[in-house]
Chain A
């Protein structure tokens, strides 16, 4: 994926989230939110790249 593709995906993700959640995004916030989402994408990439067994569950604390 090219850098401009990544930027487009980031912009779409942030704009979609703002629309879904009804956030009245100001133009100057958008660039900062995009930068933060790009950092999150990098962090998530590290996590998603790690192979886990299908049986690897998370540790819920919900007590019915």
Chain B
């Protein structure tokens, strides 16, 4: 699988065409998807039309966009004109088809990229596994008996299987970073409020983020830059200028630490081995604490359940039996949450944000594991960590939740600590410093510590 950067460069130079690249992607999807189950919808005709428009622009001498001819796909909570936005559910597929594409789909296509389809996901994004009781699980291309990770499981599986070089996902509590970790990919969760969420099905408004998964840090940067920019249709978007990232900037001078305490326990040895490899490569010798990280995770857990329950209350009243049982039972519990719990969790959120801000006065980047374990087996329901058996689902997000809780930008990078499966490391920066997390991801790639391999 070639990177998006390589494809776009070849399309721009005339070495290949958008149509050829799109046909190749459609062939790869037809070959691999029956086993991997990453795609729930393939929009082949539309994709070929989009690709032909890119080629026609090239033929008439017009300048091509930075993603010219790059096939991509989106988690099926993004609106795709003509498709019902199912968001992993059975219920939503009865909705009217979307009238227009989600904002980020429009932006990527404006940059020359070619949407080829929509991707499997955990129901309503309330998931870390990539399993789906309606559509079947998306499977991990490194071992198809294992989870892709969720909830953007199809996004991880499609890229790791080489079907498309870029996929978009959403991340509320870890749903980009978890599949990036399990599938061995680069993933970017930008700062909360950075990219427009317009035209995507929500889950927890307080924490919902959208972002790309891909084959390299440069590809993430390319896609991320194409998606930046103000959009009045997203009421939570921050008033920030477009700030293009320059991952090729000279490396050095950054103060980098490893997250200790909470982020140094409760995981398998390989999670910490991966962090050590990244820390050694980047010259990070200091350890820093994110104070009250366990409480931050607890607060994120309460807010997620409450906001998710409020969002789905009417569907729970009318069609509770049509939900994925694992989602339904958590949402019903969420309906019982007292308002004071949620408001206190939100007050704590701001306190925690202020504490973590002081960490980034001393350091530019902080490293932490992305997941406590590598990809578990499909159907697995428990994990054993530090000799204690725990339920699997909630604990997959133990290291991602305290970070997205306060919206910090994170790149998850794929590290291979031994001959086994990959596992991700989070590179975390202060708000709005996506440039730093992507530059560090690029540096780890350059040093061979982070890489995508088939």
Check: B394 CB closer than 8 A to any chain A CB: yes
B-chain residues with CB within 8 Å of residue A43 when the two chains form the complex: 297-299, 301-302
B-chain residues with CB within 8 Å of residue A8 when the two chains form the complex: none
Task: Identify the closest chain B residue to A16 (Cβ).
Answer: B336
Check: B313 CB closer than 8 A to any chain A CB: yes
In the complex, identify which listed stretch (B54-62, B98-106, B162-170, B341-349) lies at the interface while the others stay far away: B341-349
- Complex CA gap A28/B313 in Å reads 19
Known: A16-B336, A22-B317. A56 touches B329 (CB 8 A): no
- Complex CA gap A18/B302 in Å reads 18
CB <8 Å contact, B317 and A39? no
B-chain residues with CB within 8 Å of residue A39 when the two chains form the complex: 301, 333, 394
- Complex CA gap A22/B344 in Å reads 27
CB <8 Å contact, B316 and A21? yes
Q: Mark B313-342, 1 if CB is under 8 A from A, else 0.
A: 100110011000100111011111100010
Check: A59 CB closer than 8 A to any chain B CB: yes
A-chain residues with CB within 8 Å of residue B292 when the two chains form the complex: 50
CB <8 Å contact, B341 and A56? no
- Complex CA gap A3/B295 in Å reads 23
CB <8 Å contact, B320 and A24? yes
| Number of A-B pairs, beta carbon distance below 8 Å | 110
A-chain residues with CB within 8 Å of residue B236 when the two chains form the complex: 61
A-chain residues with CB within 8 Å of residue B305 when the two chains form the complex: 36, 40
CB <8 Å contact, A14 and B302? no
Partner of A32, one of B298, B329, B348: B329
Partner of A29, one of B294, B332, B341: B332
Q: On chain B, which size bracket covers the interface? A: 35 or more
How many chain A residues have a CB neighbour from B under 8 Å? 35
CB <8 Å contact, B335 and A58? no
Give the distance to chain A from B437, nearest Cβ to Cβ, in Å.
22
Check: A1 CB closer than 8 A to any chain B CB: no
Residues 295-311 (chain B) with a chain A CB within 8 angstroms? 295, 297-299, 301-302, 305
CB <8 Å contact, B335 and A23? yes
CB <8 Å contact, B345 and A47? yes
A-chain residues with CB within 8 Å of residue B316 when the two chains form the complex: 21, 23
CB <8 Å contact, A21 and B313? yes
Tell me the dominant secondary structure on chain A's binding face.
Answer: helix
CB <8 Å contact, A59 and B353? yes
Q: Mark A4-22, 1 if CB is under 8 A from B, else 0.
A: 0000000001101110111
CB <8 Å contact, A56 and B332? no
CB <8 Å contact, B321 and A26? yes
Partner of A33, one of B299, B313, B329: B329
Give the distance to chain B from A30, nearest Cβ to Cβ, in Å.
8
Give the distance to chain B from A11, nearest Cβ to Cβ, in Å.
10
Check: B251 CB closer than 8 A to any chain A CB: no
CB <8 Å contact, B332 and A48? no
CB <8 Å contact, A44 and B302? yes
Report which residue of A42, A43, A52, A57 has the largest number of chain B beta carbons within 10 angstroms of its beta carbon: A43
Report which residue of A14, A16, A26, A46 has the largest number of chain B beta carbons within 10 angstroms of its beta carbon: A46
Task: Identify the closest chain A residue to B239 (Cβ).
Answer: A63
A-chain residues with CB within 8 Å of residue B297 when the two chains form the complex: 43
B-chain residues with CB within 8 Å of residue A23 when the two chains form the complex: 316-317, 320, 332, 335
B-chain residues with CB within 8 Å of residue A34 when the two chains form the complex: 333
CB <8 Å contact, A44 and B333? no
CB <8 Å contact, A17 and B335? yes
Check: B240 CB closer than 8 A to any chain A CB: no
Query: Which residues of A come within 8 Å of B, CB atoms?
Result: 13-14, 16-18, 20-26, 29, 32-37, 39-40, 42-44, 46-48, 50, 52, 56-59, 61, 63
Additional A-B contacts beyond A58-B349, A59-B353 (5; CB < 8 A): A18-B332, A29-B328, A32-B325, A56-B350, A58-B347
The 6 A-B residue pairs with the shortest CB-CB distance, nearest first, are A36-B333, A17-B336, A58-B346, A32-B329, A43-B298, A37-B333
Chain A to chain B contacts (Cβ below 8 Å), 6 pairs: A43-B301, A44-B344, A47-B341, A48-B344, A56-B350, A57-B347
